[in-house]
């Protein structure tokens, strides 16, 4: 009996040790991915699948003099390009003959956030390493981030073993079902990115330009609205009033993230002749829920389960209420 108990204790200790040993490299790998994705020069083609929709895009990324530049080109659907130079983002829409320039906090072209350190994710997700797999002709390690609570999705990351670049990412719903994924099918790493690779192909001659580069006071900006509940670990990343093409009135936008998932809260005043939106919609991992609060419409859109998006929308109220 004593021997059997001792063997069980040894086995349990071995399992515990294996878990600790496996968890630490997973943290280190995501930390290295965080740095490589920002600091390396690379260009490649990736496919983006959300639900039944599949799009292909080309991405060029440059890091020089402590500044990031990116160029994203649509290869399917309408001809569009997005160019980011630090905080300045320029969107070119060939089909609408329109261009938009915004000054905002740096944001990722891909759906996996890389603006926060791994340490901020540990309180909300467990990290585990899986089997290796080839992506875009390169050997990659698979890291799965499983949420500790049911108020967010799981993530699976394929990280290049050589460069530590993120080659593929997937957002997983119940039972491990893939809700959406991004995957490079071809990628090259450069010592330096040729300047021409960052120049837009869309000429923008005769385009209608809209510019919104005014400085905002960010999180300290006074607002008439407040979000009273978000899941644990989510923090406000941006708060601004914007003029949007889909609305005749200025729209207040509050953006929250836990470092992986992102959710936006929109508040806009309804015009007398407008029909308000109420209810929910979904595509891939993105869920949206709209409700009316007096003369205002509140819409929450994010990479979170629908009940969570609805709960966030229900918590939005005027400041002081």
| pLDDT on residue 244 | 55
186-200 pLDDT, tens digit each:
999 999 999 899 999
Same domain membership, residue 264 and residue 176: no
Contact indicator for 118, 237 with CB cutoff of 8 Å = no
The string of pLDDT tens digits covering residues 244-272 is: 555 556 789 999 999 889 999 999 998 88
305 and 167 in a common domain: no
Range of the domain at 80: 2-198
* Model pLDDT, residue 107: 44
What's the pLDDT tens digit per position in 259-316?
A: 889 999 999 998 887 778 889 999 899 999 999 998 999 999 999 999 999 999 999 9
194 and 220 share one domain = no
pLDDT value of residue 58:
96
- Do residue 69 and residue 177 come from a single domain? yes
CB 202 within 8 A of CB 94: yes
Note the pTM of the prediction, 2 decimals. 0.82
Q: Which residues fall within 8 angstroms of residue 284, CB to CB, at 6 or more apart?
A: 49, 50, 51, 53, 171, 179, 180
Q: How many domains does the chain have?
A: 2
Residue 203 in domain:
no
pLDDT band at 113 (very low <50, low <70, confident <90, very high): very low
Q: What is the CATH number of the domain that holds 188?
A: 2.50.20.10
Residue the block writes with tokens 């994010």 = 302
Residue 191, classed as helix, strand or coil, is: coil
Tokens of 131: 């089997």
Residues 228 and 91 in one domain: no
Residue in 158, 161, 113 with CA at minimum distance from that of residue 139: 161
Domain shared by 162 and 238, yes or no: no
CATH code, domain carrying 254 = 3.30.200.100
pLDDT at 24 over 80: no
Tokens matching residue 240: 């601004």
Element (H, E) at 222: none
The answer to whether 110 touches 262, Cβ cutoff 8 Å, is no
Please indicate, yes or no, whether residues 279 and 189 belong to a single structural domain of this protein: no
- C-alpha 115/C-alpha 123 separation (Å) is 17
What six digits make up the tokens of 134? 């080839």
Of 163, 198, 233, the domain-final residue: 198
Same domain, 235 and 268: yes
- What is the Cβ-side half-sphere exposure of residue 285, based on CA atoms within 13 angstroms? 29
């Amino acid at each position: 009996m004593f021997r059997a108990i001792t063997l069980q204790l040894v086995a349990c200790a071995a399992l515990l040790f294996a878990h600790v040993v496996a968890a630490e490299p997973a943290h280190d790998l995501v930390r290295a991915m965080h740095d490589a994705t920002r600091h390396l020069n690379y260009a490649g083609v990736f496919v983006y699948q959300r639900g039944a929709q599949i799009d292909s895009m080309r991405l060029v990324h440059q890091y020089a003099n402590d500044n990031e530049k990116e160029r994203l080109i649509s290869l399917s659907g309408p001809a569009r390009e997005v160019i980011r130079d630090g905080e300045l983002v320029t969107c070119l829409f060939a089909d609408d003959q329109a261009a938009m320039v915004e000054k905002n906090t740096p944001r990722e072209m891909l759906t996996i956030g890389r603006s926060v350190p791994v340490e901020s994710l540990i309180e909300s997700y467990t990290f585990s390493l899986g089997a290796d797999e080839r992506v875009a002709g390169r050997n990659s390690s698979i890291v799965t981030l499983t949420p500790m609570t049911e108020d967010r999705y799981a993530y699976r990351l394929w990280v290049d073993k050589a460069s530590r670049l993120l080659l593929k990412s997937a957002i997983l719903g119940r039972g491990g079902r893939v809700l959406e994924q991004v995957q490079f099918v071809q990628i090259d790493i450069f010592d330096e990115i040729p300047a021409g690779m960052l120049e837009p192909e869309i000429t923008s001659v005769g385009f209608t330009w809209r510019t919104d580069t005014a400085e905002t006071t960010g999180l300290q900006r006074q607002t008439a609205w407040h979000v009273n509940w978000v899941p644990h670990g989510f923090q406000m990343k941006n708060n601004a009033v914007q003029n949007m093409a889909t609305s005749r009135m200025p729209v207040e936008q509050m953006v929250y993230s836990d470092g992986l998932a992102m959710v936006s809260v929109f508040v806009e005043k309804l015009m007398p002749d407008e029909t308000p939106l109420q209810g929910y919609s979904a595509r891939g991992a993105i869920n949206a829920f709209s409700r009316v609060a007096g003369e205002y419409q509140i819409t929450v859109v994010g990479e979170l389960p629908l009940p969570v998006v609805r709960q966030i929308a229900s918590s939005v109220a005027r400041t002081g209420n």
